[in-house]
A and B are shown apart, each in its own frame.
Chain A
Amino acid sequence: MKKITATLFCLCSLSFAVEYDPIKGQMLSLSCASCHGTDGKSTTITPYIAGMGKTTLYKTLLEYKNGTKTGTMMQKHVKGFSDEELEQVSYYFSKVKR
């Protein structure tokens, strides 16, 4: 029984994560680069996001989207993307070598 529960739990958890689509992730990342630098490698006050943990970045973007995190700019951008798209773009930057 324990085993079945564990298996079910795993399946449920996985269903929250979208499968990484590198083409979509890359496409969505392109406009980020204008402020955050090519592939997120900022050299300025704008945060460096290359190689950031996927979950951390995704969580941050969701917080901007639902208003629990405030800033001057990001809330304007994240509201233009579905949660799935934010997750894809988080995957993309997490895979960039720092």
Chain B
Amino acid sequence: MMNRRNFNKLLVGSVALSFTACNSITSVSLPKNKKRVVVVGGGFGGATAAKYLKKFSPETEVILIEQNKEYYTCPFGNTVIAGMNDIEYIKHDYKTLESKYKIVVMHEKVKKVDGATSSVILENGQIIPFTKAVVSPGIDFKYEKGYVEGSEMYAPHAYKAGPQTSLLRKQLEDMKDGGTYVMVAPPNPFRCPPGPYERISLVAHYLKNNKPNSKIVILDQKKKFSKQGLFTEGWEKLYGDMIEWRSVDFGGKVLKVDPENKIVTTDEEDLKADVLNYIPSQKAGKLAFDSGLTQGDWCPVNTKTFESRLVKNVHVIGDASIATKMPKSGFSANSQAKIAALQIVRLLAKMPIVNPPKLANTCYSLLSPTYGISVAAVYEAHEDKIIKVKGSGGLSPMAASDSYRMQEAEYAVGWYKNQMADIFL
């Protein structure tokens, strides 16, 4: 039923009503002004792109295709796992994008973005032609070492927010005092570099107040991690010796995992967890692969416009794109989405692109509800890469005062609320 209604909505919204029907395949022709951008994926990248495309160019028809009616953010998901916020806190929807910005929102599964015919093919067979497409498919996991599809029901990754967030929360609540929380942290590159360590901090906050005899072990598949000095300093100060971090070189390397029994085999031991939070290695979302947008695990793009280097008129933003030196973060995706929207509107109007575009990233992490740290940087897009602007950015200082940390915790909340409004409202 939803399919039909969405499709009718599209027909009504479309200037040109002529369409061809061929068996079950239906195709809506482009609007008269030939300006239709189809955005696939309604996360930080996609939802932002849709909103800003309309903001910059109200005459452009924007269709946002996202399979879920609700979106749960990974940022602040760790506060839900730790019981600081309810799951509703990170839940957002697309109603305002529809009503205020006149974006056509379709809750459908996309089979493929087809560059050859400039159209998006839905799983139900419908075909939606576009002038330009924006694809923001996020990440998928590499199944590895005994962690297979379905393992997340026993050893949640909770690295795509929603039911996984709630499951990890429940497992943490059910854990006995004196239990062991084991996290396997992924190798680079992965979504939100400080994310696993913020999670560990807030899990420690919960355990300290509720199950103080418990311990946390991080088996890291890397030698070092984001904001390591600041995290380590904060962990010692707030949680004593509750958290043990093992680098890949010193006992952290995972050889295999038994998710059902929550046993991780390292080169040193079989470690039995009471809660096993296994975050696998990552790659671009499946749709990117199905649409021929990938080279290796990720999507190469022209860094000034985010147009795919492999498929013309398809722009890839967010975690799936290769936008180094920008980290894979929600903030980066939001920043990239706005630049991509700006450039697409200019390209559709046959105007020169803004050159060079500048982008930014800011990542706040909470070590407790009143202890925040941050990292930030400004970036400039050059011909084939994005560079960090020299002298920009940096980390919160080490050994800062309690009030400084508290202020950053408050700004973290401030960022989240404004960021959500910038995307969804």
Which residues of A does B touch, CB under 8 Å? 23-24, 26-28, 30-31, 33-38, 42-46, 72-73, 75-77, 79-81, 85
What's the A-B contact tally at a CB cutoff of 8 Å? 107
Question: If A27-B342, A72-B374 touch, does A80 touch B418 (CB 8 Å cutoff)?
Answer: no
B360 within 8 A of A: yes
B407 at interface by CB-CB < 8 Å? yes
The answer, yes or no, to whether B339 is at the interface (CB within 8 Å) is yes
**Number of B interface residues in the complex (CB < 8 A):** 39
CA A81 – CA B376 in complex, angstroms? 14
Per-residue A-contact encoding for B369-413, CB less than 8 Å = 1, 0 else: 000001011110000000001011110100000001001101101
**Complex: how many Å from CA A24 to CA B352?**
13
Listed by A's residue number, 22 A-B pairs whose Cβ atoms lie within 8 Å are A30-B338, A30-B339, A31-B358, A31-B359, A31-B378, A34-B334, A34-B360, A34-B418, A37-B421, A38-B421, A43-B418, A46-B414, A46-B418, A76-B374, A76-B394, A77-B362, A77-B376, A79-B378, A79-B391, A79-B392, A80-B391, A81-B392
A73 to B363, CA, bound (A): 11
Q: Which of B342, B377, B415 has the most CB of A within 10 A?
A: B415
B422 at interface, CB cutoff 8 A: yes
Minimum-distance CB pairs A-B, first 9:
A80-B378, A80-B392, A31-B360, A44-B414, A80-B389, A30-B338, A45-B414, A46-B414, A76-B376
* A34/B362 contact (C-beta < 8 A), A73-B374, A80-B392 known: yes
Task: Report if B5 contacts A (CB, 8 A).
Answer: no
Interface assignment of B335: CB less than 8 Å from any CB of chain A = yes
Contacts of A80 in B (CB 8 A): 358, 360, 377-379, 389, 391-393
Given A34-B418, A37-B422, A80-B378: A45 and B413 interface contact (C-beta under 8 Å)? yes
Residue of A whose beta carbon sits closest to that of B346: A23
Complex Cα–Cα for A57 and B396 (A) = 24
B417 within 8 A of A: yes
A82 to chain B, nearest CB (A): 10
- One of A23, A46, A79 near B415 (C-beta < 8 A): A46
Please name the residue on chain A nearest to B376 by beta carbon: A76
Q: Which residues of B contact A (CB under 8 A)?
A: 52, 55, 331, 334-335, 338-339, 342, 354, 357-360, 362, 374, 376-379, 389, 391-394, 396, 404, 407-408, 410-411, 413-415, 417-419, 421-422, 425
Contact among B358, B410, B415 for A35, CB-based, below 8 A: B415
Contact of A34 (CB < 8 Å), options: B342, B392, B396, B419:
B419
**How far, in angstroms, from A35 to B376 measured CA to CA in the complex?**
12
B residues within 8 A CB of A31?
335, 338, 358-360, 378
Is A34 a contact partner of B335 (Cβ separation < 8 A)?
yes
Q: Is the CB of A35 within 8 A of B396?
A: no
Closest A residue by C-beta to B397: A72
Interface pair A35/B377, CB less than 8 Å apart? no
